[in-house]
Structures are given as structure tokens and as C-alpha cells.
Amino acid sequence: MMSEAAVEEAVGAKVDSQPPVKMQGRMVCVYYGDSQALYDVNLDIRKNQVTALIGPSGCGKSTFLRCLNRMNDTIDTCQVKGSITLDGGDIYDASVDVVELRARVGMVFQKPNPFPKSIYENIAYGPRIHGLARTKSEFDEIVETSLRKAGLFEEVKDRLTSPGTGLSGGQQQRLCIARAIAVSPEVILMDEPCSALDPIATAKVEELIDELRQNFTIVIVTHSMQQAARVSQRTAMFHLGNLVEEGDTDKMFTNPDDQRTQDYITGRFG
Amino acid sequence: MIAYLFLFLIIAATIAYFIASRRAVAIAGNDARGLHSRPIYHGLNALVYTAIPAFIFILLWLLFEGSVIDMLLMSAYPGADAMTGAERDLLLSEIRQVAVGNIFREPTPEITAAVERFHSLNATANLLLGAAVVIIALAGAGLAVTSVSKRFLARHSFERSVTIFMIFASTVAILTTLGIVASLLYEAYLFFERVPVTDFLFGIRWEPQIPLREDQIAGQGAFGAIPVFVGTILISFLAMAVAVPVGILSAIYLTEYASPRFRAVVKPMLEVLAGIPTVVYGFFAVLTVAPALRQAGISIGLDVAPNSAIAAGGVMGIMLIPFISSLSDDAFAAVPQAIRDGSLAVGATKGETIRKVLLPAALPGIVGGVLLALSRAIGETMIVVMAAGLIAKMTVNPLDSVTTVTVQIVTLLIGDSEFDNPKTLAAFALGLMLFIITLFLNLIALRIVRKYRESY
Ligand SMILES: Nc1ncnc2c1ncn2[C@@H]1O[C@H](COP(=O)(O)OP(=O)(O)O)[C@@H](O)[C@H]1O
Ligand SMILES: [Mg+2]
């Protein structure tokens, strides 16, 4: 006899070979003042996968992304309805501490935004706030591993004390990724992380995203179809505040169900 | 006379402007591109050539006219060679007084002759000046107008004039500062000839009213500046103790927490504080704050002097709040939103973001504001005169009355206009010290700002 859990697992494995759901949005509506930016979005973010959000600009990709770690709270006029869960718990519940949430769901922004501090302090900032390390050597270790994971360590190891703002654009963005990694989040949100970077820096960051998938769940907004195709396993297509279609990246790019997705991917609008 | 000359220059320059620009237009004909400089530059160039050299000539003339006329008057005055400088000055001023009709006693025949001579010299001078100005202006105008041609670089020429004017403008400030320093240094030197520097710097008794006669100056220690500086430091410290926390915290509240509507109302109100005359603050300190403090002191058994350092310092602190809050406010507002977002996104609270990211990033602006306020505190006079007292006491008790450098300078100079005794000259020595201290503060500020700057 199989245990109940084992049965469920076996059945689940047959029906759905996908990894478990990490974050889940149900009927998410977002308003900026009186104007609605998102309409009833239902989207699952799966564990250890890269989910790409695509769509023409102004369609609400960033808005949705910022709902996932409640960065929208910083905008006074912004209101979020519906439910968003992380490991099954509603992140908009009154009992949730937004500070803890953001430690679990990190974010990398469109424009690299390192603090005007040293490279070392940029990374150590988060761990220090959350008390993740006590001694100097523990901090050193976190800084080094974070920089290594972000593929930046070799480039900056001799100048950890020089300002993070002195790095090149691509290095700054990887520094920001390292900063996000340093607090060991479970999910990393990236809002067009390569749009301010040159092709070589972009390639490095894409490579990095692919590696990070082993340890983190990643949601990336991108306006580049090729990038979505290269780095993601799942793709969600937004249009005018609606989630048009969502599915495996391979299928989305070869055989989309929706005409709008087809048009967008082939460059007919966007 | 001078007014007429200026009027003439303005009219002449305007006419030259029109003639030159018309001429340029005429030369260009239909082919506007054939002209190197646009007609307006030919006009402006003519304007500058006409007015500026003549204007400079007038200024130079006025600078030297007086002394040249004096010299001529004296050389014709019988027996002037034998006179001392002071006698000459007296005589000259008498001649001038008589010349404008202020006759106090019957002038001697020599004086009457000199006055007549003075009048004729003046008339000649005016005639010469007028003729010279007209000639210079016309020559300038003529030069500029005749040089109008297709290839004449009128724009370059005009822009060069503008550059020279800008250089002149920027040197005015520097020269003024140098002039102030030089006069301070000179008067202070006169003081230190009478009182040893060491007595001034290290003495702990400040009783400048005592030495009335020359032979008493030797009485050591009467000009020890330490108590006065202690007073200044004490009051500045009290003022900063009020202004720095209140200023920075209100800036943080206004930029980071307040609603835009609240900010729109409160920020201008805070800045009004900077516009209140210091005399009014003085009233407030002496009529409201000091009695209240005294009352409060009595009720808890403390002896507060009627003129107390804490009343003056506290009110001065209120006065300084807007300096600090408004510069810190600008500094906070200049930190990009992206950096705040970056901090919030790693799970920092608003407070942590402010303390660990915003404050360091805004530090240069804040330090700038604090040092500006400190310079004001050190230099502030009125509030202290009214509320803190005049007697130099060697104390750091904020409840006692103290005096400050600026107050002493005022009291030393009031009533006296002879700058030949140590009492009045001491004011310049104090002024020099104050200048050196604020200069150092500024240098330190620059250092700090450069060292801790976290640029974004
Ligand atoms: N802070 C804001 N205040 C008001 N409206 C906003 C704000 N941010 C975004 N919007 C609006 O929400 C819609 C979606 O924006 P966004 O999510 O940034 O689109 P995307 O990232 O897909 O380009 C747009 O119409 C935009 O104008
Ligand atoms: Mg966007």
C-alpha cells in the first residue's frame, strides 16, 4: 500500500511534471489611483525556474513584478486586489512583515542602483540589516560567495573597498544581483535587468541567470524576445493589463495559442 | 557733470549700435551668409567700443582728480612746504568747506585765493574730462563702425569683451576679500604692537575698559581673549545643540515621511524663520525665553542669571534651524529614488534606509548646512548683545551670563572713533581671530565633505 502523500505525488508526477509552485497570483487587480493597470491576473511562478514576463511597454509587467515583493507599497496611490501567495501564504495578509517578505523575495532593477558605498559594503548591507553574520570573517565569506555567484568576484577582488558606483554598467548590475543574493532570498525578481547594458554585459548576466536557477526562483521582465527564449522556461505574455497567455517558453515561441502572442513574438506590434 | 557724461555715453553708444548694425546689413546686402558675424554683433561691438573705454577713463579720472587738485592747490599755497601732513589735511578740508559755502570763520586772504584757484582748477578739470570723454567715445565708435566688413570678426571681438567683463566681475569679490583681510591684518598689527600676542591669545582676563592711559597698558592680562572665545564657543555649542538635531530631523521628516501637502505648507514656514531679523529674536530671547528659564530655574532650585548663555544660545539655535533643515532637505531630495528602492528591496526598513543609505549619501549637504549654521552662530551679534550679557566671564555654565567675540567688538567700538588705543584696536584683533576661525571651519568642512562624500 502506498501512503496518501506518495499516491498524490505519483499522480501529480504523471499529470504535471512541472516543479512545485513557489508563488501564485490569483485574480490580481492593481490600480494606480482611479486607473486600473492589471485585470484579474492568474499566474503561477514555479520553483527553480525562470519565468519571463513579456509584452508591449505599459502593459503592466513591472506592476505585476512589483506586486510580488510589495515594492508597490512605496507608491501611495497604488492598490492591489486579489491574492498573491508565497509557499501558500498570502503575502498581502496583515500578519506579513514586508521586511521579511523582501528578504525572501529580492529584486534587481532596470537601472543598476548600487549604493554610494564600497563594493564590500554594498553586499554586506543586507546581511548586516538582517543579522545574517556576526564576525568579520562571516561577512567576508558572504561577500565573497555572493560575488562569486554573481560572477563578479574575480573582477573586483582587489578593489572591494572602492566605490560600487565606480564599476562599469554591467558590473554594477551584477553587483546589484550579488547584493540581492547576499540575503539568500528564495525568489529573485528582475525588471529588465539588461536594458541598460551592452551586448557583452548582457550575455554575462543571461549566463548568470541561467546558473542562478539552480538555487533560486527567478521572475524576469524583458522586452527582448530572444532573451526570454534564451533564459526562461516559462513565459507569460501581458497585453493592456491582461495576462494573455502563459506556458512553456518553447511552446510560446513556436506555437502560441493566442493571436496577440503570435503577433508580438513575430514583431508585428510592441 | 558726470551724470551728463554718462547720458552722453549712453546716447552715443546706442547711436553707434544702430549705425554699425545698419552698415553691416547694408554691406551684406542680400547675402546674409556672406557676413562673418550677424549684424547684431557688429552693433554690440560698436556699443562696447564707444561706451566702455570712455567709461573706464571716467572712473580713472575720478580716482585721481581729487589728489591731483590737492597737489596743485598746495603747490600754489604760500608756506605749504613747511606743513605736516595733518596740517595740510586740515587746510585742504577748510578750503573745500569754504568752496561749497560752509564758512565757519572769516577766511584768510590766502584761503580765499586758494578757493578761487580751487574753483578754476575744477572748471578746467571738468572741461578736460568732458573733451577727453567725447574724443574717446567718438574714436571708439569710429573705429568700430569703419571696421564693419564682411570678414570682420565682430562676434569674436564682442565675446572677448564679455569675457573680460566676467573676469572683472569675478575678481571684484576676491579683491574685496583681500582688502578686508589686509585692513584687518594692519589694524591687528597695530594692536599687537601695543599688547603682546601671547597675552592676547593665552590671557584669561578680559577687562578692556581699564587701561585708559598709555602707561597703564603694561598692566598685563587685561586683553586675554580666552574668556571671550570661551563665551563664543559656549553659545555656539548651545545653538548647534538645538539647531542640528531639530534641523536634520525635520528635514528627514519633510522629505521621507510627510505628505506632499504637509510639506508644501511647512517647508516655506520653516524658511520664514531665516527671514526674521535677529533683533526680533533678541527681543524674544530677552523678554520671553530668559524670564521663563529663570522662573523654571527657581522652581527647581537652580540659579539662572537674568542674562544667560542658554537663553541666547537656545534662541540662536531656533534661528539656525532653517539653514540646516533646508540644505539637508535639498541633500536628501537629491538622493535618487532608485537607491531608496534598492535598499527597501533587500528588506531594509524605512528607518534603516534613512540611517544607512540616505544619511551617508546626503552627508556633504548636511555638513555644508551645519557649517554654514556654525559660521552664523559664531558671527551672530544681536541676540547675544541683548540676551547673554557684556561681562567676560570664564565659565562654561550655560545658566551664567557670558559674552562673545562679536559682542565685545561692538562694545569696544561703540562711542569711540579714535583708533589709536589698544581698546579700540583690540576689536580688530578679535575680528582677525574670528576670521581665522571661520576660515579653518570652512577648510575642515571641505575636507570632511570630500572625504566622506558618497557620490551617486
Ligand atoms: N507609479 C505609477 N503611478 C501611476 N501609474 C503608473 C505608475 N507606474 C505605472 N503606471 C501605469 O501602469 C501601467 C503599467 O505600467 P508598467 O507596469 O510600468 O508597464 P511595463 O513595465 O509593462 O512597461 C502603465 O499604464 C503606467 O502608466
Ligand atoms: Mg517596466
Best of A28, A32, A223, A269 for a ligand 1 pocket test (most atoms within 8 Å of beta carbon): A32
Mean pLDDT of A240-265: 91
Inter-chain CB proximity A116 and B456 less than 8 Å: yes
Q: Are residues B246 and B330 in the same domain?
A: yes
Q: Is residue B197 part of a domain?
A: no
State if residue A191 touches ligand 1 by the CB under 6 angstroms criterion.
Answer: no
Residue of B80 and B365 predicted with greater confidence: B365
Q: A70-84, B251-265, B420-434: lowest mean pLDDT where?
A: B420-434
For chains A and B, what is the number of CB pairs under 8 angstroms? 74
Given this model, what pLDDT does residue A33 score? 92
Given this model, what pLDDT does residue A2 score? 47
| Distance from C-alpha of B90 to C-alpha of B243, rounded to nearest angstrom | 53
State if residue A12 touches ligand 1 by the CB under 6 angstroms criterion.
Answer: no
Q: How confident is the model at residue B426 (pLDDT cuts 50, 70, 90)?
A: confident
- Quick one: what percent of chain B has pLDDT higher than 70? 94
| Distance from C-alpha of B119 to C-alpha of B96, rounded to nearest angstrom | 10
Report the CATH number that the domain containing residue B403 is assigned in CATH: 1.10.3720.10
| Distance from C-alpha of B259 to C-alpha of B254, rounded to nearest angstrom | 8
Inter-chain CB proximity B454 and A179 less than 8 Å: no
Given this model, what pLDDT does residue A232 score? 95
Among B346, B356, B361, whose Cβ lies nearest the Cβ of A179? B346
CA of A31 to the centre of ligand 1 (A): 10
Give chain B's length.
Answer: 456
Q: Is residue A135 part of a domain?
A: no
Domain range for A38: 20-112+188-265
State if residue A222 touches ligand 1 by the CB under 6 angstroms criterion.
Answer: no
Q: Are residues B113 and B261 in the same domain?
A: no
Given this model, what pLDDT does residue B20 score? 92
Q: How near does any CA of chain A get to the CA of B296, in Å?
A: 44
Nearest CA to ligand 1 atom 27: A58
Q: Is residue A161 part of a domain?
A: no
- Which DSSP helix (H) or strand (E) runs through A50? strand A50-54
Given this model, what pLDDT does residue B419 score? 66
DSSP string, A195-239: TTS-HHHHHHHHHHHHHHTTT-EEEEE-S-HHHHHHH-SEEEEEE
Inter-chain CB proximity A109 and B455 less than 8 Å: no
Q: Is residue B210 part of a domain?
A: no
CB A236 within 8 A of CB A205: no
Inter-chain CB proximity B343 and A115 less than 8 Å: yes
Q: Is residue A77 part of a domain?
A: yes
pLDDT, mean over chain A: 90
Q: Are residues B146 and B226 in the same domain?
A: no
Given this model, what pLDDT does residue A14 score? 44
Helix runs in B335-358, H state only:
337-345, 350-353
Q: Given a cut of 60, is residue A7 above it in pLDDT?
A: no
| Distance from C-alpha of A64 to C-alpha of A191, rounded to nearest angstrom | 10
Query: If you measure CA to CA, which chain A residue comes closest to B260?
Result: A76
Amino acid identity of B250?
Answer: S
Q: Are residues B121 and B260 in the same domain?
A: no
Q: Are residues B109 and B231 in the same domain?
A: no
Q: How near does any CA of chain B get to the CA of A257, in Å?
A: 35
Q: Is residue B382 part of a domain?
A: yes
Non-local CB neighbours of B45 within 8 Å, separated by 6+ positions:
B20, B144, B154, B157, B158, B161
Strand partners for A132:
none
Q: Which of A66, A67, A111, A129 to mutate to test the interface with B (most CBs of B within 10 A)?
A: A129
Look up residue B4 and give its three cell numbers. 551728463
Inter-chain CB proximity A111 and B338 less than 8 Å: yes
State if residue A162 touches ligand 1 by the CB under 6 angstroms criterion.
Answer: no
Nearest CA to ligand 1 atom 14: A60
Q: Given a cut of 90, is residue B108 above it in pLDDT?
A: no
Q: Given a cut of 80, is residue A9 above it in pLDDT?
A: no
Q: B112-126, B165-179, B409-423, B426-440: lowest mean pLDDT where?
A: B409-423
Q: Is residue B398 part of a domain?
A: yes
Among B338, B339, B352, whose Cβ lies nearest the Cβ of A129? B352
Q: Is residue B61 part of a domain?
A: yes
> In terms of C-beta density within 10 A (0-12 exposed, 13-18 middle, 19 or more buried), how is residue A36 classed?
middle
| Distance from C-alpha of B129 to C-alpha of B134, rounded to nearest angstrom | 9
Residue for cell digits 567709461? B55
A-contacting residues in B 315-374 (Cβ below 8 Å): 336, 338-349, 352, 356-357, 360-361
Q: Are residues B166 and B228 in the same domain?
A: no
Q: A93-107, A238-252, B26-40, B345-359: lowest mean pLDDT where?
A: B26-40
Q: Are residues B162 and B292 in the same domain?
A: no
Q: B244-253, B259-268, B364-373, B393-402: lowest mean pLDDT where?
A: B393-402
Q: Given a cut of 70, is residue A269 above it in pLDDT?
A: no
Among A100, A106, A130, whose Cβ lies nearest the Cβ of B345? A106
Number of structural domains chain B divides into:
2
State if residue A125 touches ligand 1 by the CB under 6 angstroms criterion.
Answer: no
Given this model, what pLDDT does residue B421 score? 73
CA of A93 to the centre of ligand 2 (A): 26
| Distance from C-alpha of B174 to C-alpha of B183, rounded to nearest angstrom | 14
Inter-chain CB proximity B346 and A176 less than 8 Å: no
Residue A179 φ then ψ, to 5°: -65, -40
| Distance from C-alpha of B255 to C-alpha of B262, rounded to nearest angstrom | 11
pLDDT, mean over chain B: 87
Residues of B in contact with A129 (CB under 8 A): 346-348, 352, 356
State if residue A30 touches ligand 1 by the CB under 6 angstroms criterion.
Answer: no
Given this model, what pLDDT does residue B38 score? 86
| Neighbour order of strands in the sheet with A89-90 | A89-90, A78-86, A21-32, A35-46, A242-248, A234-239, A50-54, A217-221, A187-191, A105-108
Residues of A in contact with B347 (CB under 8 A): 99-103, 126, 129-130, 183
Q: Is residue B217 part of a domain?
A: no
Report the CATH number that the domain containing residue A47 is assigned in CATH: 3.40.50.300
| Distance from C-alpha of B353 to C-alpha of B356, rounded to nearest angstrom | 5
A-contacting residues in B 171-200 (Cβ below 8 Å): none
Non-local CB neighbours of B344 within 8 Å, separated by 6+ positions:
A71, A74, A102, B350, B353
Q: Is residue A125 part of a domain?
A: no
Mean pLDDT of A143-149: 93
Residue of B394 and B12 predicted with greater confidence: B12
Inter-chain CB proximity A100 and B454 less than 8 Å: no
| Distance from C-alpha of A128 to C-alpha of B306, rounded to nearest angstrom | 51
Q: What are B121-150's pLDDT values in tens digits?
A: 999 999 999 999 999 999 999 999 998 888
Q: Is residue A36 part of a domain?
A: yes
Q: What are B357-414's pLDDT values in tens digits?
A: 999 888 888 988 898 899 889 988 889 888 888 877 888 888 888 888 888 888 888 7
Given this model, what pLDDT does residue A5 score? 52
- Which DSSP helix (H) or strand (E) runs through B327? helix B309-334
DSSP string, A106-153: EEE-SS----SSBHHHHHHHHHHHHT---SHHHHHHHHHHHHHHTT-H
Q: Given a cut of 50, is residue A137 above it in pLDDT?
A: yes
Given this model, what pLDDT does residue B29 score? 80
| Distance from C-alpha of B45 to C-alpha of B33, rounded to nearest angstrom | 19
Look up residue B271 and give its three cell numbers. 524658511
Nearest in space to B201 (alpha carbons), one of B430, B451, B443, B444: B430
CB B286 within 8 A of CB B231: no
Q: How confident is the model at residue B175 (pLDDT cuts 50, 70, 90)?
A: very high
Domain range for B432: 222-452
Nearest CA to ligand 1 atom 26: A58
Q: How confident is the model at residue B104 (pLDDT cuts 50, 70, 90)?
A: confident
Torsion B32-B35-B38-B43 (CA) sign: negative
| CA A57 to ligand 1: nearest atom | 23
Of B150, B170, B190, which one is at a domain's C-terminal end? B170
Q: Given a cut of 90, is residue B355 above it in pLDDT?
A: yes
Mean pLDDT of A50-73: 94
Q: Is residue A74 part of a domain?
A: yes
Q: Flag whether residue A131 sits within 8 Å of chain B, measured between CB atoms.
A: no
Residues of B in contact with A130 (CB under 8 A): 347
Q: What are A190-232's pLDDT values in tens digits?
A: 999 998 888 888 998 899 999 999 999 999 999 888 899 999 9
> In terms of C-beta density within 10 A (0-12 exposed, 13-18 middle, 19 or more buried), how is residue B64 classed?
exposed
Q: Flag whether residue B455 sits within 8 Å of chain A, measured between CB atoms.
A: yes
Query: If you measure CA to CA, which chain A residue comes closest to B359?
Result: A116
Q: How confident is the model at residue B454 (pLDDT cuts 50, 70, 90)?
A: low
CB A116 within 8 A of CB A148: no
Q: What are A17-45's pLDDT values in tens digits?
A: 788 999 999 999 999 999 999 999 999 99
| Distance from C-alpha of A128 to C-alpha of A139, rounded to nearest angstrom | 8
Q: Flag whether residue B261 sits within 8 Å of chain A, measured between CB atoms.
A: no
| CA A53 to ligand 1: nearest atom | 22
Q: Given a cut of 70, is residue A12 above it in pLDDT?
A: no
Given this model, what pLDDT does residue A1 score? 45
| Distance from C-alpha of B377 to C-alpha of B380, rounded to nearest angstrom | 5
Residues of B in contact with A99 (CB under 8 A): 347-349
Non-local CB neighbours of B163 within 8 Å, separated by 6+ positions:
none
Q: Given a cut of 90, is residue A138 above it in pLDDT?
A: yes
Integer CA distances (angstroms), A23 to A91, A104, A219, A242, in order:
10, 12, 10, 18
| Distance from C-alpha of B398 to C-alpha of B389, rounded to nearest angstrom | 12
Q: Is residue A27 part of a domain?
A: yes
Look up residue B182 and give its three cell numbers. 589686509
Could you tell me if residue A33 is left (phi over 0), alpha (psi between -120 and 50 degrees) or otherwise beta?
left
Number of structural domains chain A divides into:
1
Q: Given a cut of 70, is residue B18 above it in pLDDT?
A: yes
Q: Which of A100, A123, A125 to mutate to test the interface with B (most CBs of B within 10 A)?
A: A125
CB B12 within 8 A of CB B137: yes
Amino acid identity of A201?
Answer: A
Q: Which of A66, A113, A123 to mutate to test the interface with B (most CBs of B within 10 A)?
A: A113
Q: Are residues B142 and B257 in the same domain?
A: no
State if residue A109 touches ligand 1 by the CB under 6 angstroms criterion.
Answer: no
| Distance from C-alpha of B348 to C-alpha of A69, rounded to nearest angstrom | 13
Given this model, what pLDDT does residue B412 score? 82
Q: What are B85-97's pLDDT values in tens digits?
A: 778 888 888 888 8
- Quick one: what percent of chain A has pLDDT higher than 90? 74
